[in-house]
Amino acid sequence: MKIKKVKYADGYSIEVEFEDGIIGVVNLSDFIGTGIFSVLKDPVQFAKVYTTGYSIAWSDDLEIDAANIYSELTGKDPASYFTQTTYATN
């Protein structure tokens, strides 16, 4: 799944739209203030969210994978999004 759009919503929430039409608001307040995400306590910094297509990000070093966001919105296990790949043998 690929993220089509992401935008700041309110507080520590973002609105995310995926290419398959899933749209929703995710509250990330549980992440704020912990580890590398502590810089996002500043609402101005948090509002600078953007998408790389396969993640939401605030910098090259500060990203959350799209599968985690998709799982939060849909309640599905991230492992269920990926199909098993098989390879031909000689």
Q: What is the mean pLDDT of each run of 10 residues along the chain (90 residues)?
A: 94 96 94 88 95 95 93 83 55
Residue 85, in any domain of the structure:
no
Q: Say how many domains are in the chain.
A: 1
pLDDT score at 13: 96
Q: What is the Cα–Cα distance from 82 to 5, expressed in whole angstroms?
A: 21
pLDDT score at 11: 93
Residue 19, CB-side half-sphere exposure with 13 Å CA sphere? 9
Helix (H, G, I), strand (E, B) or coil at 9: strand
Residue 66, in any domain of the structure:
yes
Residue 44, in any domain of the structure:
yes
Residue 23, in any domain of the structure:
yes
Residue 87, in any domain of the structure:
no
Domain extent at residue 45: 3-77
CATH code for the domain in which residue 66 is found: 3.30.2020.10
